[in-house]
Chains A and B, each alone.
Chain A
């Protein structure tokens, strides 16, 4: 019996979203097939990996990943430049962690200063993230958006509780916007609708369906992403056609598997390799389920994920 490949084709297509400016600008999305299914359609873009940088030293990161940045993490500009120049980052994700009321309560003005300095120092696209404190983020991200005006940076995350102010700020300053909801395709859809109803262009959105770590809910994020992608492609649901983000590092580097010493749990094996594998396996799984943009921390994990991505355009036999 001759074999005819059973190909799937879809009427829908993921929006192509450009971020940053100049030579280092990056485009994500644009495919009309499931992730890496270029064999049956068009998948022009490659997923991008952003290195996470914080406005304050990463005291809460485990040693495996904190050590790598110990010479640069005292200053966000040095840290971001290091990721761009020495690690070849596609993009930088600047998390304004120090603005959180429990982490120093840095003012919106000061945070905006940091954003400006980092923007002046790096050429790769910038993703500006709040501290995930819905109320404080409103103030911080408005000022941060003003500081990034006209740079085509990404800002977020807009959530149900604060999307109005943040979306308005992104719109006024020409930025791309991350819309995050909690692990539910309908919540993602609803938030994207609410934001577009304000007049925000849906082709400037990035959906964050909420990340999780391997063994800590990975399967939920994985399946929500696959369902969003299928609705976007097969049902041509425009509201679900923005590319997706997986904010991997912050979920991975707080679980026990990335922190517990081998001496305490010998059956888990060597700690550094385990932590790096935890981040890389989590990240690569979300590429398979549909993320086009990743935020990661450990250079070894990022480099493995990059090699993994490269293997999709490789014929070895």
Chain B
């Protein structure tokens, strides 16, 4: 179990020297317990305390990097079981499986499809994060060919090398030197040899166990062999097994501080021949505690759904998602097109812009920074006031694009119309519908 502030305090020098930047040792201990500071900020801590505290202050799920460089993915460090308690920390990686039984052309096509999967969504760049190279053929030479292909075609993409043969592992890991690859496939039969190959290549070791009991044994043995970075596969494959095992692993790590399971989890969602079911199982893995989700295919439509789900689940529940303040053009609005305003809570923006699109009436939509609050809340909190709206509209320079200076405001803030008219000289303020679903009817009626 993690130590409490008072338990930590007992191990500190108790000199209140302030060198750590905190007023007292007790204050430092409290911050340490909440993981807001790190122990090396105390210059006088004893070796004994360092060891005890180091173990206790290590995150319950070890941070491990998948890949190196700009496209590396951070894994682990999760602190909760439910996203409403606190933000899920490190969004899981999606890895697409490439088998070495594919022809070189097919493998190249799949690799390039994954490498080109990046899309921009609400200001975030989202993509298939990694390649899962699988030694299905059992042939080391074929596997090396695939590794070479991946290293050449997608040099920046993190890689998981999947084989149970230590020799095949060594050869292909050679293609990813310095890239923090994962060597997946360590089992009861090959653990020692695989651990050596992973160590030599500075790779993370992926444990492939039959069940959780064996998983615990294997991670302890690997640790004794000097392996620090691991990812865990309990052997779960059906949705029921994935939910059960991933739940047990996360709970054991967080609630019991059970070290043998304190590593990121890799979950296999592949459903050959049923890509839609694969999407649903991958969704379960996103929601329930996987750090790497292995997919069989990466169709664009499936990627979009999974990227969106990951974004939703890993959103900070305490910080509303926001969109950028600016004047958005929907369709191709001419100088006579309606001009509307709303706030920058992402949900508000999505729903309002979606309804404007549904109306098929081209529009300008001013989205004002309200710190991510919805219209009514922003108004109540003084973030969506007549003077702020007037300032935003004036500074935007939108006036020059419009034939008529008319602004449509949300029905919920009808009360502001007079005040905005006072502050925006020459503008006509029109009150729009209260709910976004009234927008199509409202816009269509105006267009007639």
Using CB atoms and an 8 Å cutoff, list the residues of chain A in contact with chain B: 1-3, 5-6, 8, 36-39, 102, 214-220, 222-223, 226-227, 230, 254-257, 267-271, 273-274, 276-278, 280-281, 284-285, 288-289, 300-301, 304-305, 307-308, 311-317
Give the most central of B239, B255, B279, B441: most A CB within 10 Å.
B239
- B238 CB contact (under 8 Å) in A1, A3, A288, A311: A311
- A226 CB contact (under 8 Å) in B82, B301, B309: B82
Contact A304 B240 (CB under 8 A): no
In the A-B complex, list the 10 residue pairs whose CB atoms are closest, starting with the nearest.
A269-B300, A269-B301, A311-B239, A274-B301, A312-B240, A215-B308, A223-B84, A219-B312, A314-B238, A284-B280
- B302 CB contact (under 8 Å) in A273, A300, A301: A273
Known contacts A227-B84, A254-B354; A276 and B276 CB within 8 A of each other = yes
Contact B243 A36 (CB under 8 A): yes
Query: In the bound complex, what is the Cα–Cα distance between A92 and B258 (angstroms)?
Result: 47
Contact A219 B212 (CB under 8 A): no
A285 to nearest B CB, angstroms? 6
Contact B280 A267 (CB under 8 A): no
Query: In the bound complex, what is the Cα–Cα distance between A226 and B83 (angstroms)?
Result: 9
Query: In the bound complex, what is the Cα–Cα distance between A92 and B215 (angstroms)?
Result: 45
Contact B279 A280 (CB under 8 A): yes
**Contacting residues, chain B, for A216 (C-beta < 8 A):** 347, 350-351, 354
Known contacts A268-B300, A273-B299; A315 and B238 CB within 8 A of each other = yes
- A3 CB contact (under 8 Å) in B212, B279, B312: B212
B120 to nearest A CB, angstroms? 9
Known contacts A1-B260, A6-B256; A317 and B235 CB within 8 A of each other = yes
Contact B276 A268 (CB under 8 A): no
Kindly list 10 other residue pairs between chains A and B, CB separation below 8 angstroms, not including A3-B213, A280-B276, A285-B287: A1-B216, A5-B252, A214-B308, A226-B82, A227-B84, A268-B300, A281-B309, A308-B284, A312-B238, A312-B243
Query: In the bound complex, what is the Cα–Cα distance between A278 and B241 (angstroms)?
Result: 24
Could you write out 20 A-B pairs with CB less than 8 Å apart? A3-B212, A6-B248, A6-B255, A38-B240, A214-B312, A216-B350, A226-B84, A256-B354, A267-B300, A269-B299, A276-B276, A281-B279, A285-B287, A289-B287, A304-B279, A308-B239, A308-B280, A311-B240, A312-B240, A317-B241
Contact A277 B300 (CB under 8 A): no
B398 to nearest A CB, angstroms? 24
In chain B, what residue has the closest Cβ to A132?
A: B437
Grouping DSSP codes into helix (H, G, I), strand (E, B) and loop, the A interface class, with mixed when no group exceeds half, is helix
Q: Fill in one digit per residue for B253-276: 1 if any A CB lies within 8 Å of its CB, else 0.
A: 001101011000000000000101
A101 to nearest B CB, angstroms? 11
Q: Count the B residues whose beta carbon is within 8 Å of the partner chain — how many?
A: 61
In chain A, what residue has the closest Cβ to B355?
A: A254
B439 to nearest A CB, angstroms? 12
Contact B281 A219 (CB under 8 A): no
**Contacting residues, chain A, for B288 (C-beta < 8 A):** 288
**Contacting residues, chain A, for B311 (C-beta < 8 A):** 215
Give the most central of A215, A222, A255, A288: most B CB within 10 Å.
A215
- B248 CB contact (under 8 Å) in A5, A281, A312: A5
Contact B240 A313 (CB under 8 A): yes
In chain B, what residue has the closest Cβ to A271?
A: B301
Q: Is B375 an interface residue (CB 8 A)?
A: no
B350 to nearest A CB, angstroms? 5
In chain B, what residue has the closest Cβ to A267?
A: B119
Q: Fill in one digit per residue for B13-37: 1 if any A CB lies within 8 Å of its CB, else 0.
A: 0000000000000000000000000
Query: In the bound complex, what is the Cα–Cα distance between A269 and B315 (angstroms)?
Result: 25
Contact B305 A214 (CB under 8 A): yes
Query: In the bound complex, what is the Cα–Cα distance between A140 and B321 (angstroms)?
Result: 38
Query: In the bound complex, what is the Cα–Cα distance between A198 and B213 (angstroms)?
Result: 53
A210 to nearest B CB, angstroms? 12
A241 to nearest B CB, angstroms? 19
Q: Is B247 an interface residue (CB 8 A)?
A: yes
In chain B, what residue has the closest Cβ to A277?
A: B305
**Contacting residues, chain B, for A317 (C-beta < 8 A):** 210-211, 235-238, 241
Query: In the bound complex, what is the Cα–Cα distance between A285 and B313 (angstroms)?
Result: 10
**Contacting residues, chain A, for B240 (C-beta < 8 A):** 36, 38-39, 311-315
**Contacting residues, chain B, for A226 (C-beta < 8 A):** 82-84
**Contacting residues, chain B, for A278 (C-beta < 8 A):** 305
In chain A, what residue has the closest Cβ to B247?
A: A37
Q: Is B410 an interface residue (CB 8 A)?
A: no
Contact A277 B301 (CB under 8 A): yes
- B216 CB contact (under 8 Å) in A3, A274, A301: A3
- A222 CB contact (under 8 Å) in B215, B235, B244, B313: B313
B443 to nearest A CB, angstroms? 14
Known contacts A6-B248, A277-B301, A312-B243; A219 and B317 CB within 8 A of each other = yes
Q: Is B388 an interface residue (CB 8 A)?
A: no
Contact B251 A230 (CB under 8 A): no
Known contacts A37-B243, A315-B240; A6 and B252 CB within 8 A of each other = yes
Query: In the bound complex, what is the Cα–Cα distance between A267 and B117 (angstroms)?
Result: 8
In chain B, what residue has the closest Cβ to A314?
A: B238
In chain B, what residue has the closest Cβ to A268?
A: B304
Query: In the bound complex, what is the Cα–Cα distance between A53 and B313 (angstroms)?
Result: 31
Contact A274 B304 (CB under 8 A): yes
In chain A, what residue has the closest Cβ to B298?
A: A269
Contact A308 B277 (CB under 8 A): yes
